[in-house]
Amino acid sequence: MISRLHYFERVTSTMDVIHQLASEGAPAGTAVIAGEQLEGRGSRGRTWHSPLGGLWLSVVFQPPAVEGIEVISLRAGLAVAEAIQARVPKPLQLKWPNDLMLEDRKVGGVLCEARWQGEALGWVAVGIGMNVRNRIPDELGAVAISLSDLTPDITVEMIAAPVLAALRGLDFRSGRLSRDELSQFSRRDWLQGRTIREPVVGEVTGVGEDGALLVRTASGSNLSLRSGTVELAAVSQSR
């Protein structure tokens, strides 16, 4: 039988390993978990701190088309939040485009990377990082949190299986968020109703079915942001 879950004590990044496996023909659903990542990454070249004690996981998929990679990221975050909510005493919220929030601090993040084979989409790797009981670096102490801060007994083993099952169960047939997904997202939407100052000034009204962030500006126009990093108008909450 082909082993579809690979565990490593230490890797550069589970994304590197999953891309390597996919390039060797690993089927959709193949997953990599690492105890520790030495070069864990976020989006746009940012660093993702990944010491021992967190869940560092990547899964490969072969979606029919790449349209809606933003949607894949939101869908993955939503599925993960729903899968582990029962183990966390406070709401897990989602901050567009890819953050998982707990008590107004970042507890996890999603990273999607597509790889092409010539003109065609080869595969999409979805990575999820979740602080479970790992140490948070001092410089992130005010903005990051671990699940164990609220659930002292929680372990990576307790959440790895539900998170993996949720990701493997993702349905890629639609490149658009369904009405149900939108209302689920809205219930967990951390940005909704908040005023942002970057990349535009306005109030966040939600996300659209294409995964874009919806913002109403002071002049009353409605904007749709496809990508970018959001900064709140309040000084204390930016990333």
Rounded least distance, CB 126 to ligand BT5, Å: 9
Categorise residue 163: left if φ over 0, alpha if ψ from -120 to 50, beta otherwise: alpha
Verify binding: residue 56, ligand BT5, rule CB under 6 A. Answer: yes
Q: Does residue number 42 form part of the binding site for ligand BT5 (CB under 6 A)?
A: yes
Smallest separation, CB 196 to ligand BT5 (Å): 15
C-alpha to C-alpha distance for 11 and 110, rounded to whole angstroms: 18
Long-range contacts of residues 206-210, Cβ cutoff 8 Å, at least 24 apart: 206/182, 207/74, 207/96, 207/177, 207/182, 208/177, 209/176, 209/177, 209/178, 209/182, 210/68, 210/70, 210/71, 210/175, 210/176, 210/177
Position with the least CB separation from ligand BT5: 109
Q: Which of 13, 73, 151, 184 binds ligand BT5 (CB under 6 A)?
A: 13
When binding is defined by CB under 6 A, the residue of 73, 84, 102, 106 that contacts ligand BT5 is: 106
The CA dihedral of 95, 98, 102, 106, to the nearest 10 degrees, is -110
137-176 binders of ligand BT5 (CB under 6 A):
140, 144
| Count of residues near ligand BT5 by CB under 6 A | 30
- Options 36-44, 66-74, 181-189, 191-199: segment touching ligand BT5 (CB under 6 A): 36-44
Q: Residue 43 or residue 216: which is nearer to ligand BT5 going by CB?
A: 43
Binding site for ligand BT5 (CB under 6 A): 13-15, 37, 40-44, 46-50, 56-58, 98-99, 106, 109-111, 127-129, 131, 140, 144, 239
